[in-house]
């Protein structure tokens, strides 16, 4: 057969790609969220990383959280330190949706499933997103419990929540105005906030990094390393939301000097909850 017979505009094809139903699924979850929470629209999403679920209580959430795993299409949040509850809380005239945890790529979930809870919040009306996450610190000023305001990220997962020609602009992905507000949080939270913002590198995990990988990440310009945030930021920027990233340093990144205290990560995160709550209160109260 001549090769030309295989080309041509009228050539029939059996290729039948699946429909991109991510937006449709998010709409359906958002409708159920509205029905179950009794709140039609939300303004701000706060995702609480490892150990940080108590932040919700400090922001006025009651005991009666909505079990997120009963919303359609929500993957389970099954890792220790992550709570599969959502709360709807009024704060400074805005309606804030809080998630007590998240799921991760390293649990075996597809990127589009990992960002489904975030897309649900976007479909529920959120135009501002605060992403918090535990991270290992590479910079010498980042002691345990310090909070790094994220100014940019390195997505080293090799994955994206976007499929197809969706060329989302990632310049200025972490909103400079929200960064400035976080840096200006009043004391005592201010004392926990690293004076200089920095770069969050997302790796897939779940294994932690080798000392050589940490040297590589430092060379690439990373200030902290974690296993979430970057993919969520991509999905949030696709939806046009303003993003604030807060990386809570739970351990020094791997070096040859000492083994990592993996078991201690959740407790260090939990101790940072008051500072994170105060930063969120300040940012939500001061931004329009």
66-91 b/e with 16+ CB inside 10 Å = b?
Answer: bebeebebbbebebebbbbbbbbbeb
Q: In angstroms, rounded to a whole number, what is the distance separating the alpha carbons of residues 179 and 48?
A: 17
- By beta carbon distance, the residue nearest ligand HPA is 136
How far from the centroid of its chain's Cα atoms is residue 132's Cα?
6
Q: 252 Cβ partners below 8 Å, 6+ apart?
A: 136, 137, 142, 144, 258
Q: Whose Cβ is closer to ligand HPA: residue 163's or residue 261's?
A: 261
**Phi, psi (5° rounding) for residue 237?**
-70, -35
| Minimum gap (Å) between residue 132 Cβ and ligand HPA | 12
Q: Whose Cβ is closer to ligand HPA: residue 121's or residue 265's?
A: 265
| Minimum gap (Å) between residue 249 Cβ and ligand HPA | 8
| Minimum gap (Å) between residue 213 Cβ and ligand HPA | 9
**Phi, psi (5° rounding) for residue 204?**
-75, -40
| Minimum gap (Å) between residue 251 Cβ and ligand HPA | 5
Are the C-beta atoms of residues 270 and 56 closer than 8 Å to each other?
no
| Minimum gap (Å) between residue 79 Cβ and ligand HPA | 11
Q: Whose Cβ is closer to ligand HPA: residue 175's or residue 232's?
A: 232
| Minimum gap (Å) between residue 226 Cβ and ligand HPA | 4
Q: Whose Cβ is closer to ligand HPA: residue 33's or residue 229's?
A: 229
Peptide bond into 206 cis (omega under 30): yes
Q: Whose Cβ is closer to ligand HPA: residue 156's or residue 180's?
A: 156
Q: Which pair of structure tokens corresponds to residue 204?
A: 């897939």
- Name the site residues for ligand HPA (rule: CB under 6 A): 134-136, 208-209, 225-227, 250-251, 253, 265
Q: Whose Cβ is closer to ligand HPA: residue 76's or residue 206's?
A: 206
């Amino acid at each position: 057969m001549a090769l030309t017979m295989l080309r041509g505009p009228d050539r029939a094809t059996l290729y039948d790609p699946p429909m991109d139903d991510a937006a449709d699924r998010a709409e359906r979850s958002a409708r159920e969220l509205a029905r179950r929470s009794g709140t039609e629209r939300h303004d701000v999403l706060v995702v609480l990383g490892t150990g940080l679920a108590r932040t919700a209580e400090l922001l006025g959430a009651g005991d009666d959280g909505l079990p997120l795993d009963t919303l359609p299409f929500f993957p389970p949040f099954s890792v220790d330190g992550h709570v599969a509850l959502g709360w709807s809380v009024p704060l400074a005239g805005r309606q804030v949706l809080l998630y007590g945890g998240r799921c991760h790529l390293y649990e075996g979930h597809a990127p589009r499933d990992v960002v489904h809870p975030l897309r649900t919040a976007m479909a529920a009306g959120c135009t501002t997103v605060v992403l918090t996450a535990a991270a290992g610190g590479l910079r010498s000023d980042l002691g345990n419990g310090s909070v790094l305001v994220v100014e940019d990220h390195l997505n080293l997962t090799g994955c994206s929540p976007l499929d197809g020609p969706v060329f989302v602009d990632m310049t200025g992905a972490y909103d400079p105005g929200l960064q400035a507000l976080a840096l200006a949080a009043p004391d005592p939270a201010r004392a926990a906030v690293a004076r200089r913002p920095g770069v969050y590198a997302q790796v897939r995990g779940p294994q932690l990094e080798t000392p050589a990988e940490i040297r590589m990440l430092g060379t690439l310009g990373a200030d902290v390393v974690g296993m979430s945030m970057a993919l969520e930021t991509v999905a949030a920027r696709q939806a046009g939301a303003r993003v604030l990233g807060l990386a809570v340093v739970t351990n020094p990144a791997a070096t040859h000097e000492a083994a990592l205290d993996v078991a201690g990560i959740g407790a260090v995160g939990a101790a940072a909850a008051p500072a994170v709550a105060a930063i969120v209160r300040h940012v939500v109260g001061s931004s329009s």
